[in-house]
Amino acid sequence: MSAKKNIAPSKKAQANNDLEESNKISTNRSKVIFHNTQDDTGDIIAQMNGVAYQIQREKEVNVSSALLTMLDDCIITKSERDGKGKEISRDIKCFPYTKVA
């Protein structure tokens, strides 16, 4: 009678499992509508991990959650003065959007 040994998965098999898991995570997608801003009404051009994206504004688009997170991090800091002359700075999203159900 031969006894079977429990053999741990090889490093290659583990790497494949990790890749499959990361692909599952990265396939989460969201439907959004990117809005025009005072400064920009053209298409959004973004690049992530060597892949370029051209996203139309004011139309419903389906984008990955990773791309959406990256675009959320794009901000502009604007400075203004209040009525007393004190400088106030505000962070404004470069690419405002609305999530669609």
Domain membership of residue 48 as a residue range: 28-99
| In a domain? residue 70 | yes
Q: What is the mean pLDDT of residues 36-56?
A: 94
Q: What is the mean pLDDT of residues 55-77?
A: 95
Number of domains forming the structure of the chain = 1
| In a domain? residue 15 | no
User: Which residues are paired to 55 by β-bridges?
Assistant: 44
| In a domain? residue 73 | yes
Indicate the pTM of the whole model. Answer: 0.65
User: Which residues are paired to 61 by β-bridges?
Assistant: 32
**Residue 53 pLDDT > 90, yes or no?**
yes
